Amino acid sequence: MESCFLRRVSILFLIRSKKNRNYPAISPQPCCNVPVSFKIIECNQVSFTQAWIGVGLLPVILFISRTMSMNKNYLIRIVLLLALLTGTFAATAPAYAMEGAAPFLPAIIVIRSTTFWDATFNGTVNADRIEQWSLQLEDTSSFSVTVTTLSGDLIPSIYFLDSSEAEISSAVGVSSETVLTFTDLPAGDYYVRVQPVSGGGTYSMTIRQTDDPVVDPDAVIVLDPALVDVGESSTATVFLNNIPAEGYASAEFSCTYDPLLVEISNITQLGLFGTDPAMVIHGPLDGSFIFAIAGSNGQRATVDGAAFNFTMTGLQVGEATIICDVRASNGNSLVDLGSNQSTLTIAEPQGVVDGTVLASKAVTVTLYNLDTTVAGTTTTDVNGYFSLTAPAGSYTIVASAVGFLDAQGSPTVTSGATTTMETVSLLAGDIDGNDVIDEFDAMTIGINYGLADPDAADLNNDGVFDVLDLELLAANYREAGALNWQ
């Protein structure tokens, strides 16, 4: 099939030359179902350059045909030759984007140094679109990937894949932001796939480095327990942490404490510097001691752990702080590991007082110091039992309930022992709280008969004032003062 350009040139030539030849007139015909004047652009078969070359040479062709009296066959050959030349030397037709083109390629993130961390990348996903980003790590890295919805109703999920697109880890989103973290991921090629749990929209993806900072070596003192009574002991253990790869050949611990509060004893190495290390213990004396240790026969402390421990015994009430300055040697020089401290709380020896108090209501038991300040308070359980802890000494104990006469005793609490009070039943009827059960208490029941307020008048705790409450009051009528509680 001849080209549109050739058809147009032929048409123009025949129209121009029919005055001198007896050729029939030919009307312009559409090419590829579009008008001739737009054919070059719409059909994209020849360029404007080709068309103008052909049209510009038409006068030359006519001149040659008139001069040489050229017959029809020669003329047609010349036209065909010109068409061939314009098709060969003219510019190529422009390219157009067509539907069905290759799909969009995933973006590539190349992590070459820490300057690329915290970069943010944007994308779009929905039910018909999933985006996959390639990620190249040149070193072992710890990092987080955060995908945050920017627009739409997107709930994003993150899938982390290896180079063969096998899943390594994933985070299924529950909100507009999803985070996936990694620790010490080896160098290699990976993919980050972002797809919706639901909805769709645009998102931002941030890759942030989370490598832990380098931690300097140090020493820590741990007390077990950290609270003791006077005369009791705690074990203090000194640990070396973040020991460097080359290890320590030796270490020196210079410790101080308050000798009025604690006594130090039993200083013992714990094997951190290998078997049969060389040791020096200076003191304890006047609130200080030195513990020095060196691994024998080339042995070193190469892993974190406990270097030594000692016993701290409480001498009197207070807070005793133990401080240790630590230096360690890598074999060539001493490195200052700083100072570390820990505090032992020394309390009065504690004892327990317990017992059972019976009443139709909950009972409050209060322990008073001799100066009437409160040493402790508690409430009985459903069976009336209570237990209070207090330093050794003498106390006043009071059991009370609303609408009842109190019970009062004077227990002595012994350190490390339990003092048990006798079981006591509180007497019902002291509604007005004046330590006497009398007609005024009975009058309160009468005035509020059938009601439920005040609570003090509900002696049997059934929620209403009636003859049953009056009966309990009558059983203790004219009783006064607190019951003697042994």
- Provide the 8-state DSSP code for 52: H
At residue 442, the pLDDT reads 78
466 within a domain of the structure (yes/no): yes
Q: Is the pLDDT of residue 28 over 60?
A: no
3-class SS of residue 429: strand
Helix (H) / strand (E) element for 360: namely none
472 within a domain of the structure (yes/no): yes
Domain count, the chain: 5
Tell whether 265 and 158 lie within a shared domain: no
Alpha carbons 182 and 109: distance in angstroms, whole number: 17
Q: Who's near 62: CB < 8 A, 6+ residues apart?
A: 13, 16, 17
Domain boundary among 397, 419, 441: 419
Residues 45-58 have pLDDT tens digits of 344 444 444 445 55
Alpha helix segments (H runs only) across 43-104: 48-56, 58-67, 72-89
Q: What is the CATH number of the domain that holds 399?
A: 2.60.40.10
Between β-strands 396-400 and 407-409, what pairing exists: parallel, antiparallel or unpaired? antiparallel
Alpha carbons 64 and 76: distance in angstroms, whole number: 13
pLDDT band, very low/low/confident/very high, at 451 (cuts 50, 70, 90): confident
Domain boundary among 209, 243, 258: 209
3-class SS of residue 228: strand
246 within a domain of the structure (yes/no): yes
95 within a domain of the structure (yes/no): no
Tell whether 435 and 463 lie within a shared domain: yes
Q: What is the CATH number of the domain that holds 340?
A: 2.60.40.680
Alpha carbons 202 and 191: distance in angstroms, whole number: 19
85 within a domain of the structure (yes/no): yes
At residue 332, the pLDDT reads 81
What is the token pair recorded at 463? 């929620």
Tell whether 231 and 331 lie within a shared domain: yes
At residue 475, the pLDDT reads 87
Q: Are 193 and 132 in contact (CB under 8 A)?
A: yes
Tell whether 112 and 186 lie within a shared domain: yes
pLDDT band, very low/low/confident/very high, at 20 (cuts 50, 70, 90): very low
61 within a domain of the structure (yes/no): yes
184 within a domain of the structure (yes/no): yes
Tell whether 56 and 162 lie within a shared domain: no
What is the token pair recorded at 207? 């890759």
Higher pLDDT, 404 or 88: 404
Other Cβ atoms closer than 10 A to 81? 10
Tell whether 149 and 234 lie within a shared domain: no
At residue 105, the pLDDT reads 41
At residue 170, the pLDDT reads 95
Provide, rounded to the nearest whole percent, the portion of the chain with pLDDT above 90.
53
3-class SS of residue 166: coil
Q: What is the CATH number of the domain that holds 193?
A: 2.60.120.380
**Rama region for 372: left / alpha / beta (φ>0; ψ in -120 to 50; rest):** left
Q: Is the pLDDT of residue 477 over 80?
A: yes
User: Which residues constitute the domain of residue 39?
Assistant: 4-89
Q: What share of the chain is helix, strand, coil (3-state, %, to 5)?
A: 15, 45, 40
Q: What is the CATH number of the domain that holds 466?
A: 1.10.1330.10
Tell whether 170 and 253 lie within a shared domain: no
Tell whether 233 and 323 lie within a shared domain: yes
Sheet holding 227-229, edge to edge: 227-229, 334-347, 318-329, 250-256, 288-294, 278-285
Alpha carbons 259 and 253: distance in angstroms, whole number: 18
Determine phi and psi for 343, rounding to 5 degrees: -120, 130
Domain boundary among 320, 347, 374: 347
Q: Who's near 471: CB < 8 A, 6+ residues apart?
A: none
At residue 75, the pLDDT reads 57
Provide, rounded to the nearest whole percent, the portion of the chain with pLDDT above 70.
74
97 within a domain of the structure (yes/no): no
- The residue whose two tokens read 């052909």 is 54
Residues 365-382 have pLDDT tens digits of 999 999 999 999 999 999
Q: Which residues partner with 485 through β-bridges? A: none
**CA nearest neighbour of 160 among 127, 128, 123, 185:** 185
Tell whether 14 and 64 lie within a shared domain: yes
What is the token pair recorded at 83? 């068409």
Tell whether 224 and 320 lie within a shared domain: yes
Tell whether 114 and 140 lie within a shared domain: yes
CA distances from 244 to 252, 332, 333 (A): 17, 14, 14
Higher pLDDT, 72 or 423: 423
Tell whether 83 and 122 lie within a shared domain: no
